[in-house]
């Protein structure tokens, strides 16, 4: 009885939609460690850190939730040690929300020798080369140890560019695995388990998966298997179809997305949450995100440019440093990628806030038009 009532509290109170414009929503997401606003961008902190930034700095730029990679955390330092030391929040000194992925995607994408069977994902340990097996039960066990506010079901991931019976097999297996994840989940009162919609680019398979997951009445749902090389029209069509079939009162998370433009479009289609390594990865290559698109700090023209990265950006980097100074640092000194990561994540947080406020204030179409006009006209 205690278990049931706590489960219901976790499910019912998680999301409150505060405003809408057509399909776009601005919502409040009440997670165990922090109350977030959607649309919500999650930076990826592979091993409990966003490279080069302190947790104080992440709070300063308005970061509400960080994604931790279960696969990397299990390899080092190990989920048992994280649990023994009080969970990942305490371990990394992060008081706000956390989400962990299932670990499956990393294995399939990073390890050539990963093999998927009904039991789970078999892979060769990068530490000692021995065969290892990640089952739905093991993924949930590890994520229970890590202690994130949102945990993800283990799914059978296939690239959208693959066609044929493998897509159907993966979708049905994802549905079978969700029941094993639900049964294995030991902390439904403090950790919200999200299911993942698979089905490639096939609308019939996506529909079966959406319906199957919605029947399980999960706290939230993710749209998976996208951002893998499919064309934009197919990508947006799948997002639009899935958001239309998912419950109005539950968060919808588009995994591995994305570029600022993708986030704006997916929010218009009714999605709420996103994660992507792009802002921090591109920072390490010397590229800054600006309203016009991107600014490449390595270019010779930057060497004498006294302006900040983005004169309209209120972040610490834009207040204090010139493009000329950053030009000297980028790709040569760790400080360069730290400062650019700080600015790029500030840009994404500002975009999330702007989306939220424009929906709440009934000026979402104007915001989207303004955003698109800047991006389309001024990108070189």
Which residues are the active-site residues?
A: 101, 275
377 is in an annotated binding site: no
The verdict on 61 binding Zn ion (CB under 5 A) reads: no
The verdict on 289 binding Zn ion (CB under 5 A) reads: no
45 is in an annotated binding site: no
Minimum CB distance to Zn ion smaller for 343 or for 356: 343
198 is in an annotated binding site: yes
Q: How far is CA 311 from CA 109, 136, 158, 346, in A?
A: 38, 48, 42, 13
- Residues sharing a CB contact under 8 Å with residue 87, sequence separation 6 or more, in sequence order: 145, 146, 147
Say how far apart CA 290 and CA 315 lie, in whole Å: 12
Say how far apart CA 283 and CA 62 lie, in whole Å: 18
Q: State in angstroms the smallest separation of the CB of 326 from Zn ion.
A: 11
Minimum CB distance to Zn ion smaller for 300 or for 312: 312
Say how far apart CA 83 and CA 72 lie, in whole Å: 15
225 is in an annotated binding site: yes
Minimum CB distance to Zn ion smaller for 89 or for 343: 343
The verdict on 222 binding Zn ion (CB under 5 A) reads: no
> Which residues within the stretch 303-362 sit at the binding site for Zn ion (CB under 5 A)?
313, 315, 317-318, 343
The verdict on 288 binding Zn ion (CB under 5 A) reads: no
Say how far apart CA 274 and CA 71 lie, in whole Å: 19
CA dihedral 203, 16, 348, 343 (to 10 degrees): -160
Q: State in angstroms the smallest separation of the CB of 61 from Zn ion.
A: 9
364 is in an annotated binding site: no
The verdict on 178 binding Zn ion (CB under 5 A) reads: no
Query: String of b and e for 64-95 (b: at least 16 CB within 10 Å)?
Result: bbbbbbbbbbbbeeebeebbeeebbbebbebe
200 is in an annotated binding site: no
Q: State in angstroms the smallest separation of the CB of 310 from Zn ion.
A: 5
Q: From the CA atom positions of the chain, what is the Rg in Å?
A: 21
Q: State in angstroms the smallest separation of the CB of 322 from Zn ion.
A: 12
Q: State in angstroms the smallest separation of the CB of 55 from Zn ion.
A: 19
Q: What is the number of H-type helices and E-type strands within the chain?
A: 16, 16
Q: Which residues are annotated as a binding site for substrate?
A: 101-105, 155, 198, 225
Q: Which residues are annotated as a binding site?
A: 101-105, 155, 198, 225, 313, 315, 318, 343
Q: Which residues are annotated as a binding site for Zn(2+)?
A: 313, 315, 318, 343
Interface residues with Zn ion (CB under 5 A)?
A: 313, 315, 317-318, 343
């Amino acid at each position: 009885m205690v278990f049931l009532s706590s489960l219901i509290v976790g499910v019912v109170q998680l999301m409150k939609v505060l405003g809408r414009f057509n399909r776009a929503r601005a919502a409040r997401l009440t997670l165990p460690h922090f109350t977030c606003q959607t649309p919500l961008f999650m930076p990826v902190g592979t091993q409990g850190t966003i490279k080069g930034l302190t947790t104080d700095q992440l709070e300063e730029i308005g970061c509400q939730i960080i994604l931790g990679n279960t696969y990397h955390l299990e390899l080092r330092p190990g989920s048992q040690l994280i649990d023994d030391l009080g969970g990942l929040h305490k371990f990394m000194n992060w008081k706000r929300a956390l989400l962990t992925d299932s670990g499956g995607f990393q294995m399939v994408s990073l390890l050539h020798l990963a093999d998927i069977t009904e039991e789970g994902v078999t892979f060769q340990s990068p530490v000692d080369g021995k065969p290892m097996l990640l089952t739905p039960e093991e993924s949930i066990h590890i994520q229970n140890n890590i202690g994130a506010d949102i945990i993800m079901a283990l799914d059978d991931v296939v690239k959208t560019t693959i066609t044929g019976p493998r897509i159907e097999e993966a979708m049905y297996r994802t549905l079978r695995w969700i029941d094993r994840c639900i049964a294995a989940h030991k902390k439904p009162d403090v950790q919200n388990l999200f299911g993942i919609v698979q089905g490639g680019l096939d609308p019939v398979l996506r529909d079966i998966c959406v319906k199957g997951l919605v029947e399980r009445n999960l706290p939230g749902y993710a749209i998976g298997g996208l951002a893998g090389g499919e064309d934009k029209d197919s990508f947006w069509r799948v997002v639009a179809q899935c958001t239309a079939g998912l419950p109005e009162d539950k968060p919808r998370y588009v995994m591995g997305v994305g570029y600022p433009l993708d986030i704006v479009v997916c929010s218009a289609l009714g999605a709420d949450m996103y994660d992507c390594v792009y802002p921090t990865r591109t920072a390490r290559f010397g590229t800054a995100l600006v309203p016009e698109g991107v600014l490449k700090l390595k270019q010779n023209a930057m060497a004498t440019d006294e302006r900040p990265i983005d004169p309209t950006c209120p972040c610490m980097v834009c207040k204090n440093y010139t493009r000329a100074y950053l030009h000297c640092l980028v790709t040569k000194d760790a400080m360069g990628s730290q400062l650019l990561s700080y600015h790029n994540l500030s840009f994404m947080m500002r975009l999330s806030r702007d989306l939220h406020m424009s929906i709440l204030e009934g000026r979402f179409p104007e915001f989207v038009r303004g955003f698109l006009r800047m991006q389309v006209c001024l990108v070189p």
